Amino acid sequence: MQNYDVTATSTASPAVVWRLLLDARTWPVWSAVDELVVERSSGLDPNGRDPVGAVRAFRTGKTVTGERLTGLVEEKRMTYEDAFNKAIRDYDATIELTPTADGGTIIRWHGTYGTRWGMGLVMRGVMGRVMQQMVDGLASHAATWSKA
């Protein structure tokens, strides 16, 4: 199994960061994904509060991947697993939000996954880089969004 573990700190509160995480429609704005593919998703909440069990399909380039929400602890933790992805298998991820003393949020995003034979080194580099972009984008956008 491969893994990644990335962090970023935002000046935004955990409540603001949580709202962005929970609403899959915001992900293309702040993350490395290009589009939420609604027709391949299921269980999305029209008010942006996707529940456990929702499958959120995202397109990046020509690739569409799906992630099923498996756990939600309000303003603290989101867990999800792979619903469909050709590049990796047995993917489980956790996003943890920890308040800072000054009202901001430490965002820790970590996960484990398997790869096809011969793809381990390539995917380790790709996942580490992409997931750092994801957490950095979330932290930055949340800070800007909370000031708007």
Task: Please compute the mean of the pLDDT values over residues 94-106 and round it to a whole number.
Answer: 97
Going by pLDDT thresholds of 50, 70 and 90, the confidence category of residue 134 is very high
Residue 32 pLDDT > 80: yes
What is the reported pTM?
0.91
Supply the pLDDT for residue 118.
61
| DSSP string computed for 16-80 | HHHHHHH-GGGHHHHSS--EE-GGG-BS--TTS-PPTT-EEEEEETTEEEEEEEEEEETTTEEEE
